[in-house]
Amino acid sequence: MPEDLPFPDDSLPVIDDTRLSDEFGDSPEILAELRDLFLQHVSDLIAELGDVIAAGDAARLAQTAHTFKGACATYGAPRLAFVCAQLEKFGKEADLAAAAHYLGVLEDEGSRAAAVVAGITAP
């Protein structure tokens, strides 16, 4: 993988527990529903981004990465949102080579986020 590709800063949490607590802590039902939705869709969106990159569709890469970035930001997954923002940028720049190199980062961060989210229980 090229060394000049940006990586999430180590200071960014996988999941921002404070954001989740501040935003949804008073509603365990909503927190549980969001957790389940996130887990249901994260692997599908990662696979879709891989397919879009393989197909060479830069416009769809930008659009799909933008959508996924928003979901990650809403849920409080800043590292994964960062990765999606980079993929969105690569799509807008039609830099599919960088996007292809970045798929491993997406998969790693997606797995990390899913593992943390799976462990979240409603208070």
Establish if 2 belongs to a structural domain.
Answer: no
Q: Name the token pair of 83.
A: 């990765």
The residue assigned the tokens 């923002």 is 85
Establish if 11 belongs to a structural domain.
Answer: no
Establish if 64 belongs to a structural domain.
Answer: yes
* CATH number of 22's domain: 1.20.120
Q: How many CA atoms lie within 13 A of 23 on its CB side?
A: 13
pLDDT in tens, 93-115: 999 999 999 999 999 999 999 99
State yes or no: pLDDT of 1 exceeds 50.
no
pLDDT, residue 123, reads: 54
State yes or no: pLDDT of 3 exceeds 70.
no
Contact 101, 1 (CB under 8 A): yes
Total domains in the fold of the chain = 1
State yes or no: pLDDT of 17 exceeds 70.
yes
Establish if 3 belongs to a structural domain.
Answer: no
- Expressed as residue numbers, the domain containing 66 is 17-118
Establish if 123 belongs to a structural domain.
Answer: no
Establish if 38 belongs to a structural domain.
Answer: yes
Establish if 47 belongs to a structural domain.
Answer: yes
**28 DSSP 8-state letter:** H
